[in-house]
Every structure is written in C-alpha cells, then in structure tokens.
Structure 1
Amino acid sequence: MLRSALILLATIALPVTAQADDYLGNLSANPYAPNSTANPYGAGSRYNANSINNPYGRYGSPYSNESANNPYATEAPKLYDSQGNYRGRLSSNPYDPESVSNPYGRYGSPYSPDSINNPYGAGSPYKPDSPNNPFGNGLRIIGDD
C-alpha cells in the first residue's frame, strides 16, 4: 500500500517532459503514395503547412532552424526506416554529423551502409523503405515538436 502510494505521488509530482513529434510524411520517390514527399497532392504539397516542400513552412523554409532546406539548420527532421532504425536528419547542412547531406558522415556518406546515399545500403532502389525506390514507401520523416 505504501509503495503504491509513493509511486502515485512520484508520477504526480514529476513534470511531463515527453514531447509529441510531428509526422511529416515519407521521404520517397513514389509520386503516387499519399504520404510521399514526391506526391504534390499529398505530403509533398507545397501548400501543406508541415511539408518539407513548403518554402514558408516550419520544415521547408530556408530560414527555419527545423527545416530540411536550411543549410545551417541544426534541428532538421529525423528519418526512420520501417523497422524504426534512425537514418539521420533530413538536412541540407553539410557540416551536421547526422545530416544526410554530410558526405563524410554516417548518414550521408555514399560508402556507409546506414546512408540513404549508398545505392548498396539504406539507399538501395530495391529496398521497399528506401527513398530511392520509385514504388516503395520510403523513410518516415519526424519533426520535433
């Protein structure tokens, strides 16, 4: 009884620190998938407020620190494959170690098996969750909220 009361007290007293994340669609070359960033009528619409293709939105603006299109962004959206494996940040920042645009980083190097730029690794056009597969699902894009 005392233990359950302490647990209840601890859960009430602790502040909520968990943040909800924004699902922004899938980084995919498939123009017909509704959640694909290549679909101009789906998640890739430049009118969608959370689209990475919206130049005025939080995740597509060249000036937002959370944008995939800002070459200086440090809080760009994250990429995850279908198994939940982290695949780096969808960023045009070539200096961010987690950016898919860093040619020397784990997620941007064309030689790294974890990179979407490696046609024999995570970027293989034959993998169903590869962003380079024109018939696949692509990688989930998650923005920090």
Structure 2
Amino acid sequence: MKRIIILPALMVLYATATAQNYLGNLSSNPYAPNSTTNPYGAGNPYNPNSISNPYGQYGSEYSNRSANNPYATEAPKLYDNEGNYRGRLSSNPYDPDSTSNPYGRYGSQYSPDSINNPYGAGNPYSSNSPSNPYGQGLSIYGDDD
C-alpha cells in the first residue's frame, strides 16, 4: 500500500521538475503554423514565448534562456518527432550542446546528430530537418520557471 502512495508523489515531483514550454518548430517552412519562420505563427515577434521576440525571454540577446544570446547557458532545447534530443538552439559557440558550436556534437558539420550536417540531422529531404521547406522541423522547448 505504501508503494502506491509514494509512486504518484514521485511522478508529480518529476513532472514539475521537467516542466517545459513548447515554443514552436525550428523549420524553414513559412506556411506551417508552428514554424519559427512563419511571422503569423510561432515566429511572431509579438508572441512573448517566440524566439523571434527581441524583448522576450527566449529571443532577447540578454536573457540566459534565449536562442539569440551568445553567452546563454539555458537556451531552448530541440527534439525531433521521435523525442530524440538534438541539442540547444543557441548562438553560444562554447556550449557543448549548442547548435552553434562547430566542434560539438549538435553543431559540427560532420556530426550525424547535428542540424548543420546536410547528410545527418540537417538532411533537407528529412521531414524532421529544419532546412526542409516542406517539413515540420524540430520541436523547440524552453525551460519553465
């Protein structure tokens, strides 16, 4: 009986510790409603949770959670449609998980896990690829407070 009581408490604790905001999809498809290149969808610069909003926590060049801050350490995370982690959408070239780190797993043009590799995760013919103009791209999640 005690296990039944403890297990739901641990599940609630885990769910609150991993809470994340869905910010849209990193995609070059300007017609997809959740695409960050759609100015009327997830790429709307007036949306407070958009990575395109220069005054929001995920788009400001000063926020530690921003994709546009070159010193950010808590930038938004990228996931494909199977739930595989694809790094952090960050302009920080020193963060090991950053998509802008040319020597890291998720930023190197030679890594199969990198969106910068046209033969790996960045394959323009893959529906998960952010460079496919007809695909859905990668899901972007920001850490919640």
Q: TM-score, normalised by structure 1?
A: 0.92
2:15 aligned residue (11, 14, 18)? 18
Q: CA distance change for structure 1 residues 100 and 11 in 2, over 3 Å: closer, same or farther?
A: same
The one-letter amino acid of 1:66's match is R
Question: Shift in Å at residue 107 of structure 1?
Answer: 0.1
Q: TM-score, normalised by structure 2?
A: 0.92
Secondary structure at 2:3 match in 1:
helix
Question: Shift in Å at residue 13 of structure 1?
Answer: 6.8
The one-letter amino acid of 2:56's match is G
Question: Shift in Å at residue 10 of structure 1?
Answer: 3.0
For residues 121 and 7 of structure 2, what CA distance do their matches in structure 1 show? 40
Q: CA distance change for structure 1 residues 38 and 12 in 2, over 3 Å: closer, same or farther?
A: closer
Q: Which residue pairs with 1:60 in the alignment?
A: 59
Question: Shift in Å at residue 8 of structure 1?
Answer: 4.6
Question: Shift in Å at residue 17 of structure 1?
Answer: 4.6
Matched, 1:27 2:26: yes
Secondary structure at 2:13 match in 1:
coil
Give matches, 1:40-51, under 5 Å: 40-51=39-50
What are the ranges of 5 or more consecutive residues in structure 1 without an aligned counterpart?
none
The one-letter amino acid of 2:24's match is G
For residues 9 and 85 of structure 2, what CA distance do their matches in structure 1 show? 32
CA RMSD of aligned residues (A): 1.4
Secondary structure at 1:18 match in 2:
helix
Q: CA distance change for structure 1 residues 12 and 125 in 2, over 3 Å: closer, same or farther?
A: closer
Q: Which residue pairs with 2:77 in the alignment?
A: 78
Question: Shift in Å at residue 9 of structure 1?
Answer: 4.6
For residues 76 and 28 of structure 1, what CA distance do their matches in structure 2 show? 17
Q: Which residue pairs with 1:102 in the alignment?
A: 101
Q: Which range is displaced more, 32-41 or 11-20?
A: 11-20
For residues 44 and 76 of structure 1, what CA distance do their matches in structure 2 show? 17
Q: CA distance change for structure 1 residues 125 and 12 in 2, over 3 Å: closer, same or farther?
A: closer
Look at both structures and tell me which one has the larger radius of gyration over its CA atoms: 1
Identity over aligned pairs, percent: 74
What are the ranges of 5 or more consecutive residues in structure 2 without an aligned counterpart?
none
Q: CA distance change for structure 1 residues 89 and 9 in 2, over 3 Å: closer, same or farther?
A: same
The one-letter amino acid of 1:122's match is A
Q: Which residue pairs with 1:119 in the alignment?
A: 118
